[in-house]
């Protein structure tokens, strides 16, 4: 009897809803100490900073847990249409502070820790950020899942749990050196592994046809398998009690695989096989613009999308689900082409495994995918050689061929036998090797295709995929990117946030267009003075960070002129450093007296893809110019260059709020959108920028008088190419440019060695794909205007406030609403 009532009691407990610990300082202390003692196995007195950080993270998790479980339960119950975001990258940044903010626990935690003699800020510093992305595309995915949770839209983000994220960058003699990013060395308190829920993912082998009760069918006979183990992460909405899920897959060797080899007595082979399988999720590819076409990368792509589709069909959907209704339940958003192999995978599952007719399966598939393109660079459009794809995924290649055959038939029907057009539109390209064009496959399969800023979407339709736009009227659309105001304003800039809340009251963090109300405050001298004080405080904070991190000194009274982003020739860090060299040269040659310079510090942050030689040369040059300029007393300390290594999300959160000037200087028509540009404007930096990407929309919103525009427009760039671009002519025609390039070529920044930067100089003079020399004079002229404007601090601050006030549009909450209206059509949720 006693045991029976005990069982009943257990059941009652199990059925009771999970409850969060008490949201009080005492409750928090209790939970924190419990975690320290029982999960870390240490006493407070002997705990390390790592122990305390983990215990704190576990505590925050505990508070979010009830909400997470409740959200998962409701999602199962309601079965509403949801969004599965498929992305090979999520550049999350540190989690602790974000999760404290989302759960509204920051103050309680801070007080609770203080009562234990612990400084919250010390624990924040313990976290190694998960750098599971390269740059804009990965960071955008992180902003989007934050916004979806905040809007209360059910969403699962699917991706890869790379064991090593984006490399850690150091400089040796000014040159980039890459180190592995072992972010999991101490483990992560934010992940929930579920090895028992692993999916088996197959590769290789061959295909065969067989007789299925009188019907001839194809099937795949794979050569080898790996296990995909899901790791779940909480994605809490901002103080709304909602928690979505990010599910990242980790590769594990299957038991059968190594057992077989092990039984044969070949221990070494067994271990080798295991390593081979687990390599799949080992490392993030650090190329941010030129896909490498490596087999391992295709393995990664297929690995995570196949696991995600299985997860959705087999685990999320109810057992008896009618698959013809799939488009009413899910939309898979393809974050660029990396997950596009999901298209033939879903077709394979529907046709081969669920025995659906091809036409029915294709009708479903076309409604379940949408594709976002993030580039305009032709070399960034991903292709897979037919040889490689057929060897790794033979059945998928057959399916792609069939999709292409049907598609080209339809094209012929519509446009006639225009063989040139057929060649141009074929999903299979023939030159230089027979390959699958993944962007075309995505466009044919996707219900919608979107670019990431107005100009980008227009160029995508007109220049990159014009035939497809004509063939699929209404398929192309735009969703301008956005950034999460939680991380990039509220957390990164607490002082500005307090000032805004003081002026507007709360609520703007989830309704960013409300920043408009700051426009009137921009006219108030007292408000401007307070705004200036916030900027100054942010500069002091950055200064302290850079001193501690890199031993740098940020000089008082300097304009902080910031260019942080991946290093790429099209982004034109070269133009920025030429401006520095020009100013330097003008002083050392005696044409300008140092005292007449507006004091400035140029701050760079940039990683170069390890195999991108020219990008690495440019990093070397920036560092070299920095060492010479910073040491030259003739400048009287009025011009400085700082290049802190290993720019990442954590550093971005310190640099952006301190910036006065934001450099967004890509060649027009090359930067799809940019999102750093939005973060700077929202934090009250003025932009110097070209008419490119989202700069166009920023300028329209903030007004010409609050934006420094320079350079050719995209049509002007086209016209110059058409005329025949000869960069050397610009060199000859502009004295400043000639002096600056000559100074670099002379060895002035390379201890007299003229060969060091020769490749940069001759590339600019004789090739200059990104027209640095053509835009130089207009850039320098605009920088002169910047200096003049900065001299009037009060007017500058007014402009800066107007930048904040008028850029609420760039909240990723708005981007998500646009996706919902234009692409996903997901209903408002519970």
Which chain residues interact with ligand F58 by CB under 6 A? 134-137, 140, 287-289, 291, 374-375, 380, 452, 481, 671-675, 693
Structure tokens at 630: 């910073």
Judged by beta carbon, residue 364 or residue 668, the one nearer ligand F58 is 668
Reference 646, options 247, 100, 147, 178; nearest CA is 178
What dihedral do alpha carbons 80, 86, 87, 93 form, nearest 10°? 20
Q: How far is CA 599 from the centre of its chain?
A: 33
Instruction: Name the catalytic one among 61, 348, 571, 607.
Output: 571
Burial grade of 21 (CB within 10 A; 0-12, 13-18, 19 or more): middle
Least distance (Å) between residue 248 CB and ligand F58:
16
Residues 6+ apart with CB under 8 A from 776: 575, 578, 730, 734, 736, 737
Q: How far is the CB of 365 from ligand F58 (least distance, A)?
A: 24
Complex with ligand F58: residue 692 or 768, whichever CB lies closer: 692
Given the complex with ligand F58, which of 258 and 692 has the nearer CB atom? 692
List the alpha helices (DSSP H) in 494-572.
Answer: 494-504, 518-521, 525-550
DSSP 346-388: HHHIIIIIS---HHHHHHHHHHHEEEE-----GGGS-EEEHHH
Catalytic one of 297, 456, 539, 679: 679
Nearest CB to ligand F58, comparing residues 374 and 607: 374
**Distance of closest approach, residue 170 Cβ to ligand F58, in angstroms:** 22
Which of 339, 727 has the CB closer to ligand F58? 339
For the sheet with 639-642, list strands across it: 639-642, 600-605, 559-564, 661-664, 686-689, 708-709
For 639-683, what is the HEC assignment? Answer: EEEECCCCCCHHHHHHHHHHCCEEEECCCCCCCCCCCHHHHHHHC
Identify the active-site residue in 348, 565, 572, 670: 565
Q: Is 374 a catalytic residue?
A: yes
By C-beta, is 299 or 736 nearer to ligand F58? 299
Q: Nearest-CB residue to ligand F58? A: 136
| Minimum CB distance to ligand F58 smaller for 27 or for 293 | 293
Look up 571 and say whether it is catalytic.
Answer: yes
In this structure, the strands spanning 476-478 and 199-203 are: unpaired
Nearer to ligand F58, 191 or 288 (CB): 288
Residue burial 288-299, b: 16+ Cβ < 10 Å; e: rest = bbebeeeeebbb
Count of residues in the chain: 830
Report residue 515 as tokens. 């920043």
- Cβ 228 to ligand F58 shortest distance, Å: 20
Shortest distance (Å) from residue 129 CB to ligand F58: 17
d(CA 317, CA 308): 12
Instruction: Say whether 555 sits in a helix, a strand or coil.
Output: coil
Minimum distance of ligand F58 from residue 415's CB (angstroms): 31
- How far apart CA 17 and CA 74 sit, in angstroms, is 13
User: Please, which residues bridge with residue 177 across strands?
Assistant: 170
Q: What are phi and psi of 608, to 5 degrees?
A: -105, 145
What residues contact 309, with CB distance under 8 A and at least 6 apart? 332, 342, 345, 346, 349
Q: Answer positive or negative: Cα dihedral of 288, 293, 295, 299.
A: positive
Q: Is the dihedral of CA 513, 516, 521, 522 positive or negative?
A: positive
Return the closest-CA partner of residue 228 out of 129, 302, 294, 122.
Answer: 302
Q: Is 8 a catalytic residue?
A: no
Least CB distance from residue 376 to ligand F58, whole Å?
Answer: 9
> In the complex, what is the shortest distance from the CB of residue 451 to ligand F58, in angstroms, rounded to a whole number?
9
Burial pattern 404-436, b for ≥16 Cβ within 10 A else e, equals: beebbeebeeeeeeeeebeeebbbbbeeeeebb
User: 635 and 594 in contact (C-beta within 8 Å)?
Assistant: yes
Q: Are 382 and 338 in contact (CB under 8 A)?
A: yes
Nearer to ligand F58, 93 or 136 (CB): 136
Least distance between ligand F58 and beta carbon 482 (Å): 10
Nearer of residues 671 and 714 to ligand F58, judged by Cβ: 671
Residue 745 Cβ, how far from ligand F58 at the closest point, in Å? 31
294 is catalytic: no
Measured CA to CA in angstroms, residue 124 lies from 90, 296, 650 at distances of 20, 35, 11
Cβ-based nearer residue to ligand F58, 563 or 587: 563
Cα–Cα dist 722/63, whole Å: 61
Nearest approach, Cβ of residue 718 and ligand F58 (Å): 19
- Strand-strand pairing, 661-664 and 559-564: parallel
| Nearest C-alpha neighbor of 796 from the set 684, 656, 698, 682 | 684
The answer for residues whose C-beta is within 8 angstroms of residue 582's C-beta and 6 or more apart is 736, 737, 739, 740, 780
C-alpha pair distances (Å), 473 with each of 336, 365, 409? 21, 19, 18
| 565 in catalytic set | yes
In the block, which residue shows the tokens 């595309």? 137
Point out the catalytic residue in the list 245, 582, 650, 675. 675
Looking at beta carbons only, is 173 or 379 nearer to ligand F58? 379
CB of 135 to ligand F58, least distance (A): 4
Catalytic residue among 374, 456, 521, 539: 374
Minimum distance from residue 251 beta carbon to ligand F58 (Å): 19
CB atoms within 10 A of CB 41: 9
Measured between its terminal Cα atoms, the distance across the chain in Å is 43
In the bound state with ligand F58, the residue whose beta carbon lies nearer, of 558 and 699, is 699
Residue 210's Cβ-count burial label (10 Å; 0-12, 13-18, 19+) is exposed
Residues with catalytic annotation?
A: 374, 565-566, 571, 675, 679
């Amino acid at each position: 009897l006693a045991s029976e009532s005990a069982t009943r009691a257990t059941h009652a407990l199990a059925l009771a809803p999970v409850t969060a610990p008490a949201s009080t300082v005492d409750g928090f202390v209790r939970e924190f100490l419990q975690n320290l003692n029982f999960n870390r196995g240490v006493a407070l007195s002997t705990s390390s900073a790592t122990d305390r950080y983990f215990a704190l993270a576990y505590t925050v998790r505990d508070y979010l847990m009830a909400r997470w479980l409740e959200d998962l339960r409701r999602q199962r119950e309601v079965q509403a249409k949801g969004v599965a975001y498929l992305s090979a990258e999520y550049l999350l940044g540190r989690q602790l502070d974000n999760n404290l903010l989302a759960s509204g626990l920051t103050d309680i935690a801070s007080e609770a820790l203080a009562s234990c003699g612990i400084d919250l800020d010390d624990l924040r510093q313990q976290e190694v950020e998960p750098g599971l992305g390269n740059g804009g595309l990965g960071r955008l995915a992180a902003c989007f899942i934050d916004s979806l949770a905040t809007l209360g839209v059910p969403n699962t983000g699917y991706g890869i749990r790379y064991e090593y994220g984006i490399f850690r960058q150091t400089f040796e003699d000014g040159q980039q050196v890459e180190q592995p990013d072992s972010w999991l060395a101490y483990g992560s308190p934010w992940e929930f592994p579920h090895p028992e829920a692993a999916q088996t993912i197959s590769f290789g082998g061959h295909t065969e046809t067989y007789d299925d009760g009188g019907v001839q069918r194809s099937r795949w006979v794979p050569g080898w398998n790996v296990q995909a183990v899901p790791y779940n992460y909480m994605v809490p909405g901002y103080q709304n009690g909602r928690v979505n899920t990010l599910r990242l897959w980790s590769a594990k060797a299957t038991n059968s695989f190594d057992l077989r080899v092990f039984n044969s007595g070949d221990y070494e082979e067994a271990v080798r096989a295991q390593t081979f399988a687990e390599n799949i999720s080992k490392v993030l590819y650090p190329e941010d613009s030129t896909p490498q076409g490596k087999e391992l990368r295709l393995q990664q792509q297929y690995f995570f999308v196949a696991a995600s589709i299985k997860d959705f069909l087999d685990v999320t959907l109810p057992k008896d689900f009618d698959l013809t209704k799939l488009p009413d339940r899910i939309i898979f958003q393809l974050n660029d082409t990396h997950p596009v192999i999901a298209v033939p995978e879903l077709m394979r599952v529907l046709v081969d495994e669920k025995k659906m007719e091809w036409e029915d399966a294709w009708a479903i598939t076309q409604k379940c995918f949408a594709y976002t393109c993030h580039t305009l660079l032709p070399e960034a459009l991903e292709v897979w050689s037919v040889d490689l794809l057929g060897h790794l995924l033979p059945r998928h290649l057959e399916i792609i061929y069939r999709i292409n055959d049907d598609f080209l038939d339809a094209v012929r029907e519509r446009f006639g036998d225009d063989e040139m057009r057929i060649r141009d539109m074929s999903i299979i390209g023939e030159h230089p090797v027979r390959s699958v064009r993944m962007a075309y496959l995505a466009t044919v399969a996707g219900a919608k295709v979107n670019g990431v800023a107005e100009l980008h979407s227009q160029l995508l339709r007109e220049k990159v995929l014009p035939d497809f736009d004509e063939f699929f009227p209404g398929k192309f659309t735009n969703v301008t990117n956005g950034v999460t105001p939680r991380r990039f304003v509220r957390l990164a800039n607490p002082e500005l946030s307090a000032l805004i809340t003081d002026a507007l009251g709360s609520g703007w963090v989830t309704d960013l267009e409300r920043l408009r109300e700051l426009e009137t405050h921009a006219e108030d001298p007292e408000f401007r003075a307070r705004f200036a004080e916030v900027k100054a405080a942010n500069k002091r904070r950055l200064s302290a960070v850079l001193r501690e991190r890199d031993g740098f000194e940020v000089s008082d009274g300097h304009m902080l002129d910031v260019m942080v982003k991946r290093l790429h020739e099209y982004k034109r860090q070269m133009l920025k450093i030429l401006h520095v060299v020009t100013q330097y040269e003008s002083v050392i040659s005696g044409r300008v007296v140092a005292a007449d310079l507006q004091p400035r510090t140029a701050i760079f942050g940039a990683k170069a893809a390890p195999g991108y030689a020219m990008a690495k040369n440019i990093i070397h040059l920036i560092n070299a110019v920095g060492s010479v300029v910073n040491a030259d007393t003739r400048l009287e300390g009025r011009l400085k260059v700082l290049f802190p290594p290993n720019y990442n999300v954590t550093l971005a959160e310190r640099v952006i709020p301190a910036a006065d000037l934001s450099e967004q200087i890509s060649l027009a028509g090359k930067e799809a959108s940019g999102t750093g540009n939005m973060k700077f404007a929202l934090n009250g930096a003025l932009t110097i920028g070209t008419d490119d990407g989202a700069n166009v929309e920023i300028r329209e919103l903030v007004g010409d008088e609050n934006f420094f525009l320079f350079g050719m427009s995209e049509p002007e760039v086209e016209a110059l190419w058409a005329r025949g671009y000869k960069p050397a002519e610009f060199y000859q025609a502009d004295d400043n440019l000639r002096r600056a390039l000559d100074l670099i070529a002379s060895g002035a920044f390379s201890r007299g060695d003229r060969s060091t930067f020769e490749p940069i100089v001759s590339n600019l003079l004789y090739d200059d794909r990104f027209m640095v020399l053509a835009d130089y004079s207009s850039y320098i002229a605009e920088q002169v205007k910047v200096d003049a404007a900065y001299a009037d601090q009060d007017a500058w601050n007014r402009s800066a406030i107007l930048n904040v006030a008028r850029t609420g549009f760039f909240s990723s909450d708005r981007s998500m609403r646009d996706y919902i209206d234009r692409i996903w059509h997901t209903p408002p949720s519970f």
